[in-house]
Every structure is written in C-alpha cells, then in structure tokens.
Structure 1
Amino acid sequence: MGRFTRAGAMVGVLVLAASLTLTGCGGDRKQADFVGGPGAVADTTAAPTSGAPGPSGGPVASGAPAPTASAAPALRLTPANGATRRPISTEISAKAPSGGELGEVTLVAANGDKVPGRWRVDGSSWVPSEPLRYATRYTATVTGTGPDGAARRGTSTFTTMAKPGSLIGSGLYLADGRTYGVAMPVVAEFHPGIPAKDRAAVQRRMFVRTDPPQPGAWHWFSNGTQAYYRAPEYWRPGTTIDVRIALAGVPLSNGRHGNVDRTATVKIGRAFEMKVDNATKKMTVYEDGKVIRTLPVSLGKKSTPSSSGTMVVMEKKEHTTFDTRDEPDPENQYVTEIDFAQRLTWGGEYIHAAPWSEGQQGRRNVSHGCVNVSMAHGRWLFANTKVGDPVTVRGTERRLAHGNGWTAWNLSWAEFVKGSALPVPTGGAGPALR
C-alpha cells in the first residue's frame, strides 16, 4: 500500500455514483467528481389559529370569552421585532412570561410567500424547512395558550442579511431516491473544515429521520472536513432515511457562512455482508444472516498488506484502470486494466477480479492490498452488491486507519459517540424535529 490521502470534492450533492479517479491497490485517493439530485425532507406548513382577535391581539376560539390583557400577556419572539441582518438560517423562538404552551407558527415573506417549518423536539425553536432568502423582510407569528388556557400571540418582523462574500462548501454522499446497503453512513463533507468551536452549532443543523425510527449519532473527524451519522447497529433492511444538512447561511467563527442546504431521501436494501478471513484465505457472503456463498481470495502480500477492519463499499466500477505510477516504491508502480472493482478505502483498496492470481486465491497473498477474486466470482459479487454494503477483513498485518474510507462502523458505539459535538443520550439520539 502507498501513502494515504483524502482530498474531498464538492460538486452539487456529493455522491459516489460518479467517477472517482482510481489508483488501484496501494494508490492515493484522487479528486472525485460527484453528481446527484435534490431530495426532500417532509415538513408541514403551520396554519394560523382561527378565531376573532381578543383584546391582547391573540385569536380567541369561537364562542369563548375574550381574555383580559393581564391574563394573556404577549409572547416574546426571537428574532425581536425590528431585528436586521439576520442569517438565513434563523430559527424562531418564543417565550411566555407566565408559562403555558406554544402552538402554531407562521412565517411570511414580504411578498406573501409562506415558509413551512417544524418545532424542535425540545421546543427550543421552530426551524424553517428551507433557507430564508437574503435581504428579505419576514414576519413571524406564534400562537399559544397560557396556564389558564387563554389564547396568546406574539409577532415579530425582521430582515435577513445580504449574501455574504465568504462561503464554506459542503456535500452529502447520498443520491436522492437511491437504495444503499445496511452499513451506508450518512456522510456530510465540508470544505474547508468546520472549526471545532462551531461544530456543535453546525451539528444542530444536521437533521436525520429514519422510518422505522432508529437512534443515531454524529461523529466528526479531527479536522472537521467530514462527519458521519450512524445507528448503534447496521440499519434495518427496508429503512427510509431522510437527511437535511441545513448549512445555508449558518455563521461560523472564521467569518464564513454555509453555502447551501443538502437534502436526500434514500432507502436501505437487504442485509448483504462480506467477511474475509486471512487465515483461511476465504470470503464468506451473507444475505439476511444466511451464508449464500464462500469463495477463495488472495489478499495483500506482506510488503503491501490489506487492512483489517470493517469497511463499506464506496463505489463500483465494472471496468476501470489502476494507475499507481506515483507510488514511491518502483515495485508498486503499474498500470492495469481491472474488471468488477469495488472501492473500500480512499487509500486504494478494492475488491476486484484478478484472473492473474486465480492460482494463488485461497492459498497465499500476492496482491498490492486489494481483495483478489476470480473473474467469475468478481462478476457475481458486482451483480449482487450495493454501495453501503459492509466488508470485514480480519487477520492481516495492518489495521484499518480511521478515516481511510467510510470507517464509521470500525468503531464501537461507545467510541463513535465520543466524536459527537453534542451530548448523545444513552442508546443514541432520536430525530431533532417534531
């Protein structure tokens, strides 16, 4: 294996359905090109409470007596009335002096367009379901009830900031509408990375909802360029995952603001898992927990060993070229045509067909770090795997480096949650929005 690099690329929604420059077993990761389509997060548009206004300006249910002003003080809203230069990521919060419950929220732009949104589960704020527009006046109205049941209301008109000149790029490694394997993490990418002091605020704007519900958590890399989201265990087959990385307009401490929101709705397919044992030189393939095939492999030789750990299929190329001429060791420099390649690491480890090593497969390791299989087995695997399927290799001379690929599942749950910028409840967090 050669040196490990990870140069991220953001072109639209980041998805490994497009071409990643391939360097083969032992090559460095090159810049990737990504394509994808917009997704959607289901949101509801709040409707204002009906009824005639009472003395304090709040609506009163039909037939109910009008409350006195002292019994129903107005709600205090944030942003405050008259606020200016607010970020387009602004959320609406309200507080009642004497307690009570908050109800509906309406947010209307100066041209009359209504903005849908949802309350956070903890009731701390109401989150618009789309970025606000720059340099635009909005009016927010929040209704609620006091401890005595009296209706109350608060209104605030504020203006958003002009578009900033310094933005931070972002990406999402999910393609809207696609189906992935059970180990597919939600991978958000940022360029440049998010400063450590800003990660908690950014993480609060990264929303994941699963159906059926499964708890989860985020994990940041030390340089803040990527964050993974996963559950304590692999996703349940058939799960729907809705993701919104609501970075647009989020202010950072380095003077930058987030560029856009990234959204996707994806499905999780059947449980398909590959386990490779260096001791036996075999791969065992499981589908929905049952062994469906066992096949011989050849792993990396001692000078270029394969990585031991749990990896994820990141990309699939039926035909490609491995070019490792930039490797420092001349013995590891080559250009080879490859069939049925499935990327496992940024550093250049793949599962792929290797007809030249079929005589050694199941007996000894001769590769440059890849998992070599026969042409027939390579074709069969390629036809049956999905991006996001887990691959576990054990018993080699090298441990998988954290971040060399989508290594979210190579950590225990206890280790994984330590990388969150926010506290994680025991067992994982649920959705942030109602």
Structure 2
Amino acid sequence: MALSVAVLVLSGCTDGGVSNPVDVIAAKDPLSISTSVESGDSDVPVDTLVTVDGFDGDLSEVSLVSQDGKATVPGEIHGVRWTAQQLLEPATSYVLTAAGTGDDGKKVSSVTRFTTKALTLDEQTYPAVAPLQDETVGVGMPVIVSFDVPVRDRAAFEKRMKVTAEPATVGGWYWLSNHTAHWRPRQYWKPGTKVSVDLALNSVHAGEGVYGQQDQHVDFTVGRSVVHVVDTKRHRLTVKINGKNRRVIPVSTGDAKHRSRNGVKVVMEKHRSIDMDAATTGVDSDDPGYYNLKGVKWAMRVTNSGEFLHAAPWSAASQGNANVSHGCVGMSTKDAAWVFAQTKRGDVVNYIGSPRRLEPGNGWTDWNRSWDEWLEGSALAAGADAA
C-alpha cells in the first residue's frame, strides 16, 4: 500500500519546555483488481486455473460463469486472492466479475470476458469407469478406468484419481497402459465395503495436447465373498461363500492341446445365453478343433481370450474325470445355473493344477501380481494410499 506522509510541526511553550509532536497521516488507496486472464483473450487453455487478486482493499464477490449462463466455475477467496476450484471447458466464452471495497472505502468492480481454446475429440480423452454406479460386485473387483485417447502424463491424472472406502482400505493404482489404469486393494475387499471413485480429470492436461474430457463419480458396494476354486487335475470346482465351502461340482476343463490357464481370475461378464465361436479365440474355421456353439447357457467370462465357466451338457460323461474342453470350465446345466446365481461380476475364480500360466492382462489378472509389484505400476512415487 502506498503511503503519503505529511509532517506537521507545532510550537508551544509549556512548563516542561518545548514539544514538537509529529503526526503521520496515511492516504487510503482505492481497490485494485488483477485477473490471471486478459479481457478479450480468445484462445485461453482449458487447463487454466483462473485467479483474481485484490490489492489495497478486500475482495468481497467473484463469479466466473459461461456467457450463456449454463456453467458456473466455483471458487474461494483466501486473503487477497480468489482461486477457481475447477478448470475450464473448451470453446466456451466466460464472464469473470469481481467486486470489493478499497482502503478508501469506495466500492470497485471489474468485468473480464474471455474465450477458451476449442478442442477436437482427438484432443480429449474420456474416462470410462467400472464398476457401474450402484453396482454390487465381488471381493476381487478392481476399479478400472479406461481412456479412449492415450494419457501420456500419467502422474498428472493419477493425482486427481481418488478411491475412498468405508471401512478404510489400503490400495493403489497400476497403469496397464496409457489407455488403462486399475486400482485394487492390497487384499480382497471386505464384504459390505462402500466405495466411491472420484476422477477430477476434466480439462487436465494428459500430455501431447490432450486433455481430460470430463470428471467422473461412481459409487459401488462390495457384496458377500464368493471364491471359486477350479482344480484342473481333480476335475472339480469348489464354491466358497463367506469363507465356507458350499458346494463341490464335477467339471471338465481344457484338454492337453487347450489347457485352462493357471492363476487367479475374476468374473468379467455374465450371460444367461451366449453364442461361442472359436474364431473369436483365434481358431480358424478350417481347424479340426473349430466350434460354433449357439445359446450356451449360464456363461461367466474370466479371460479376454475366451475362457468361461458355463453349462456343457455335451461333456456330461467327462465331467469329474477328464478334461475335454478348449479351455472353458464345463459343468451340468443344473450346476451351472446354481453357480451363475451365486456369482457377481468381480468374484474370484482361482485355477490350480494346470501347467499353463495365465498371461498378464488376459482378463483382470491383477491378483497375480505381488503387492510390491503392484505398487511399481503407479505413476506416483508413493504408490499406495488408504481409500
């Protein structure tokens, strides 16, 4: 604050002698308002965090709204500065209004108009989330965020990707690629856990001129614990519910040429009926092992490559004593219907006894990595957090 000093010298006689008091008089200045964007700017980056500063007085009111009035950017005043709490939308005209009172007691207002840069769809990446809103999932379900345009600055995004849970749960992010990130707890979810996913990614720079297309918020619940154990050597499926064995079911798994993969898998999809074409798994129609089955009942997918648990009435004679499938777990229609009814997306299916290993990324294979390996997949140094 600028000060103007006036010196007034007074002379007078007193019994104690001569005194010369000095009065300092401060001149009071008007409020000065400064904004981080210039009025008339027409190409403002969408990741601009707008600020307004007030000097020689107090800011009392700031608003940032789109010119059409459909969008409002919230913000807060701390001391002499107002800071927006959100970034900006592309190709949008904004009106920034600020008002306050100067040290001189007079009110001052300011209006700044600007427009943000337009972005093509190739310059924006959309975050799709699984589970879905209000879905009840199994204890092995990861939080999956998929981006349609690659994210190069993973750290910038991960800082704004939050998972919170009740009860609190330790977990962390792992980037499978620039298109996909998973969050999983250190151990299987506790049944009944309430989970919230918050992605504050709208207009965040993803690197190489790409920006987040929107924020996302998803709430989901973890249901009871259902863990299936497929023993490929003993040809049986054991269903454990809340830690207790509920049923042992005779099955047939992959034959010698098409071994079922060993490892911890997670139920990705459920279909009451589905057509199964071997061509989708890379088997040519001229191959002797080619098949095209219509209306397969009670099917639950566990790999991208086409492994399911499903009803297989055609292999009834082999169930419980031989492996004759192309990798799927086949069982009777009655047993498959029962398993289907117990199972949710995100339930665990643990395969044991097979010499063939499950490939990383062939489905939701998160549980086949140790916790230390998982933390190495984070874009941030800390890795784990308490959700």
| Structure with a larger share of its residues in strand | 2
- Residue of structure 1 in register with 2:64 after alignment: 108
The structural deviation recorded for 1:324 is 1.5
Change (3 A) 1:282 1:215: same
257, 267, 290: which is aligned to 1:333?
A: 290
Q: What is the RMSD computed on CA atoms of the aligned residues? A: 3.8
1:260-339 to structure 2, matched below 5 A, reads 260-325=214-279, 327-328=283-284, 330-337=287-294, 338-339=296-297
Aligned AA (1:330): D
Distance in structure 2 (CA, Å) of the matches to 1:277 and 1:409: 18
Larger of the two Rg values belongs to structure: 2
How far apart, in 2, do the equivalents of 1:183 and 1:173 lie?
Answer: 13
1:86, 1:214 → 2: CA distance?
Answer: 40
Q: 1:401 aligns with which of 337, 343, 359?
A: 359
Matched residue SS, 1:298: coil
Superposition deviation, residue 383 in structure 1: 0.9
Q: Distance in 1 between matches of 2:262 and 2:75?
A: 45
Structure 1 residues 159 and 233, CA, compared in 2 at 3 Å: closer, same or farther? farther
Letter in 2 for 1:294: V
2:185 counterpart (221, 231, 235): 231
Matched residue, 1:184:
141
Contact 1:88–1:160 at 8 Å: present in 2 too? Answer: no
Superposed displacement of residue 89, structure 1: 4.8
- For the 8 Å contact 2:73–2:84, the answer to whether it is kept is no
The answer as to whether partners of 1:190 and 1:226 remain within 8 angstroms in 2 is yes
AA aligned opposite 1:172: V
**TM-score if structure 2 supplies the norm length?**
0.74
User: Which segment is superposed worse, 299-308 or 253-262?
Assistant: 253-262
Task: List, as ranges, runs of 4+ consecutive aligned residues in structure 1 with deviation greater than 6 Å.
Answer: 80-84, 92-95, 155-158
1:45-103 deviations in Å (ceiling 9; x for gaps): xxxxxxxxxx9xxxxxxxxxxxx9xxxxx9x99x57878755445557899xxxxxxxx
Q: Describe the superposition over 1:341-387 as per-residue Cα deviations: whole angstroms up to 9, x where unpaired.
A: 00001110000111111221121211101111111110001111111
Query: In 2, distance between residues paired with 1:308 and 1:117?
Result: 52
How far residue 298 of structure 1 moved from its aligned partner, in angstroms, is 1.1
One-letter amino acid of the counterpart of residue 163, structure 1 = A
* TM-score of the two chains, using structure 1 as the length reference: 0.67
User: Which of residues 189, 196, 208 in structure 2 aligns to 1:254?
Assistant: 208
Cα contact 1:81–1:156 (8 A) shared by 2: no
Please state how far the C-alpha of 1:389 moved relative to its aligned partner. 0.6
Say if 1:194 and 1:225, in contact at 8 Å, map to a contact too: yes
Q: CA deviation at 1:231?
A: 1.0
Residues paired across the two proteins, number = 334
Kindly, what percent of the aligned residue pairs are identical? 34
The answer to whether the 8 A contact 2:271-2:300 is kept is yes
Which amino acid in structure 2 is aligned with residue 333 of structure 1? Y
1:217 aligns with 2:175: no
In structure 2, relative to structure 1, the CA distance for the partners of 1:235 and 1:139 (3 Å cut) is farther
Match of 1:205 among 157, 160, 181: 160
1:372 partnered with 2:330 = yes
Preserved CA contact (<8 Å) 2:125 2:210 = no
Tell me the equivalent position of 1:391: 349
Q: Output the amino acid matched with 1:395.
A: G
Unaligned runs of 5+ residues in structure 1 are: 1-54, 56-67, 69-73, 96-104, 119-124, 142-154
> Which residue does the alignment assign to 2:21?
none
The within-5 A match list for 1:19-38 is: none
Range 250-259 or range 383-392, more displaced: 250-259
| Bigger mean CA offset, 385-394 vs 281-290 | 281-290
The unaligned stretches of length 5 or more in structure 2 are: 3-25, 27-31, 54-60, 77-82, 99-109
Q: Distance in 1 between matches of 2:258 and 2:180?
A: 27
Q: Is the 8 A contact 2:62 2:97 kept in 1?
A: yes
Contact 1:106 1:114 in 2 (8 A): no
For CA contacts below 8 A with separation 6 or more, give which structure has more relative contact order: 1
For the residue of structure 2 that corresponds to 1:216, the secondary structure is strand
SS at match of 2:309: strand
